[in-house]
A and B are shown apart, each in its own frame.
Chain A
Amino acid sequence: MLKATDLMVFYENMLALNNISITCADKQIIGVFGANSAGKSTLMYTLSGIMDDIQKKEGMAGGERITVLGRIQYLERDITDLKPSIRAKRGMVLCPERRRIFNESSVMENLRIGGYLATKKQSKETLDYIFELFPPLQKLKKRIGGFLSGGEQQMLAIGRALMAQPKLLLLDEPLMGLSPLIQSILVRATRKIRDKRGISIIVTEQYARPVLPIVDYAYILENGAAVLEGPHDEILNNPDVRSAYFGVSEE
């Protein structure tokens, strides 16, 4: 489904992504784990093409010079040079870090803005699905986005991304700052989205423990480079990972 090879991103002379290759097969959930500033968000922005927009704006304002190298293949086609809006149209939708809800719009409006790329029929069907997936949103339809709690906002952000009819959903730190209860609801929902709708998912997280059970394959980033990758079981049983990302020491 997605195959990115040798991605490198420089902010001026600082290397943010170092030779990362990542693949995601049909209906897989891929986990990308790493500490702060390991390059998770940079990777997500690069895959979804938002990096183009950042690069353009920075360039115009005379800010940081950003260089992006490497190729991205998606659905058997090279999309490296495509605009982010076209990538979204082809089904690659990013649900960004810190959620970025439309603060002044109600829940319902947020979802309808998300449905920009969907047909009327698709929107209707997806709306029903979102309320089934996240029942708490049902009661909050009229609530203004900015007044939702963090967990509700994250549900809304995922719902909004689903409205764009993704084939590949990029979830950037969906669990950040949320309670363990909400985290487990979101993790279960993520799996359901893959199982029921056949959407492939790439999810990044700082803390691997809540997400690792549902991922098929995981990458571990450190300082912009993938230091470790492997299928679910292999990562789970790796002693380094256990100590670094689960807080389990084996001494």
Chain B
Amino acid sequence: MDIFIYGTINSAALALMALGFALVYGISRIPNFAHGALYVITGFVTWICLRSFHLNYFLSILLAMIITGVIGALIYQFILIRVRGMSISEIIASYAIGLAILEGFRWGGFKGMTYTLPAFADGTIMIEGIPVDMQRLFVVIIGAAVVAFLWAFTHFTRLGLALRGMAQDERAALMLGIDSDRMAVVAMALGAMLSGLAAIVLLPLGNIVVEKGYDVLIQAIAVCIVGGLGSWMGAVLAAFIIGFAQIFTVVYLGAHFQMVVALLAIILTLIIRPSGLFGRQKELEERV
């Protein structure tokens, strides 16, 4: 039972980390390697608002997410737009941005264990005799809410539908008046905010440290590769597979093997099924 509960929590955490990356890649085909940096930015901005400006916690979160969204949009508008369509350059450029941001934080003195965010609510509840603290419960609730929101957003709103059209055939979308550059900015902002949301929900469980940025990026990429790049539902499913696999490893092999799981998942997926569980379109084309 404890494996089930903690597996679910871990999976929800992974899904939260990966969705931003999956969203940006799915819509604009940009592998956003600055994803981890955006995650850490949100953490630090929230911390600064909270501790230096003594703002209310909720307000700090809101502000931090908006700032992260704007930074995501600016990254696209000023840098990635110039290398659009060349995947290698996109990877190099976005990774360089992420590296600059993360190492900039380290250089600026944000290191060590002093930076923490408070939990949303203290206390622990018992589920089937297993203690679960409130923050971990929030991870699951917000993870589910994000998935539901994304689904509704991309199926029922004009903007969400336009984003999906662009994800499938950018030029065909352009013919219908959907401006692909503007949509890519929207996608980047949304992806950055999702990564920020993940940071806000997950960081209270630990410290805000620069290394988290790299860690999140690797986990997000692992989830997206297993799920099939660009597929959101694939990412959610893969988050559950990797999430439970990690908990099983922790329980039966030891906690220090946890990181191996994500990397092993990448390697296995690339060997067995390179397009991932829900590799886009390839399969459809094969069947037709």
Chain A residues at the B interface, C-beta cutoff of 8 Å:
48, 50, 53, 57, 60-61, 83-85, 88-89, 93-96, 100-105, 109, 112-117, 146-147, 160-161, 163-164
Indicate whether A96 sits within 8 Å of B85 (C-beta atoms), given known contacts A102-B168, A103-B281, A113-B165: no
Chain B residues with Cβ below 8 Å from A163 are 176
Task: Say whether B111 faces chain A, with CB atoms less than 8 Å apart.
Answer: no
Task: Say whether B113 faces chain A, with CB atoms less than 8 Å apart.
Answer: no
Closest chain B CB from A42 CB (angstroms): 14
The reply to whether B84 and A60 contact each other, CB–CB distance below 8 Å, is yes
Chain B residues with Cβ below 8 Å from A60 are 82-86
Contact with A along B243-278 (1 / 0, CB 8 A): 000000000000000000000000000000000000
Chain A residues with Cβ below 8 Å from B178 are 85, 113, 116
Indicate whether A164 sits within 8 Å of B177 (C-beta atoms), given known contacts A100-B169, A103-B168, A113-B164: yes
The reply to whether B84 and A116 contact each other, CB–CB distance below 8 Å, is no
Task: Say whether B175 faces chain A, with CB atoms less than 8 Å apart.
Answer: yes
Closest 5 CB pairs of A and B: A88-B177, A113-B165, A100-B172, A85-B179, A102-B168
The reply to whether A160 and B176 contact each other, CB–CB distance below 8 Å, is yes
Task: Say whether B54 faces chain A, with CB atoms less than 8 Å apart.
Answer: no
Indicate whether A83 sits within 8 Å of B179 (C-beta atoms), given known contacts A103-B281, A116-B162, A146-B288: yes
Chain A residues with Cβ below 8 Å from B169 are 100, 102-103
Chain A residues with Cβ below 8 Å from B174 are 50, 53, 84-85, 88
Closest chain A CB from B78 CB (angstroms): 15
The reply to whether B176 and A114 contact each other, CB–CB distance below 8 Å, is yes
Total A-B contacts with CB atoms under 8 angstroms apart:
91
Chain A residues with Cβ below 8 Å from B177 are 85, 88-89, 93, 116-117, 164
Task: Say whether B106 faces chain A, with CB atoms less than 8 Å apart.
Answer: no
Task: Name 27 A/B residue pairs within 8 A (Cβ), A-sorted.
Answer: A85-B179, A85-B180, A85-B182, A88-B177, A94-B175, A96-B175, A100-B171, A100-B172, A102-B164, A102-B165, A102-B168, A103-B168, A103-B281, A103-B284, A104-B168, A105-B164, A113-B162, A113-B176, A114-B176, A115-B158, A116-B158, A116-B161, A116-B162, A117-B177, A146-B288, A147-B288, A164-B176
Task: Say whether B173 faces chain A, with CB atoms less than 8 Å apart.
Answer: yes
Which range contains the number of B residues in contact with the other chain? Answer: 20 to 34
Indicate whether A88 sits within 8 Å of B161 (C-beta atoms), given known contacts A61-B85, A102-B168: no
Chain B residues at the A interface, C-beta cutoff of 8 Å:
82-86, 155, 158, 161-162, 164-165, 168-169, 171-180, 182, 280-281, 284-285, 288
Closest chain A CB from B245 CB (angstroms): 28
The reply to whether A88 and B281 contact each other, CB–CB distance below 8 Å, is no
Chain A residues with Cβ below 8 Å from B176 are 88, 93, 113-114, 116-117, 160-161, 163-164
The reply to whether B288 and A109 contact each other, CB–CB distance below 8 Å, is no
Chain A residues with Cβ below 8 Å from B85 are 57, 60-61
Interface centre among A104, A116, A146, A163 (most CB of B within 10 A): A116
What residue of chain B has the Cβ atom nearest to residue A104's Cβ? Answer: B168
Chain A residues with Cβ below 8 Å from B288 are 146-147
The reply to whether B161 and A53 contact each other, CB–CB distance below 8 Å, is no
CA distance A83 to B179 in the complex (A): 9
Chain A residues with Cβ below 8 Å from B168 are 102-105
Chain A residues with Cβ below 8 Å from B182 are 85
11 further contact pairs, Cβ within 8 A, besides A61-B85, A96-B172:
A85-B179, A85-B182, A88-B177, A96-B175, A102-B164, A104-B284, A113-B162, A116-B162, A116-B178, A146-B285, A163-B176
What residue of chain B has the Cβ atom nearest to residue A110's Cβ? Answer: B165
Closest chain B CB from A104 CB (angstroms): 6
CA distance A61 to B88 in the complex (A): 11
CA distance A95 to B182 in the complex (A): 22
Chain B residues with Cβ below 8 Å from A83 are 179
Chain A residues with Cβ below 8 Å from B179 are 83, 85
CA distance A115 to B156 in the complex (A): 12
Closest chain A CB from B183 CB (angstroms): 10
Indicate whether A102 sits within 8 Å of B284 (C-beta atoms), given known contacts A93-B177, A113-B162: no
CA distance A6 to B14 in the complex (A): 57
What residue of chain B has the Cβ atom nearest to residue A114's Cβ? Answer: B176
What residue of chain A has the Cβ atom nearest to residue B81's Cβ? Answer: A60
Chain A residues with Cβ below 8 Å from B171 are 50, 53, 96, 100
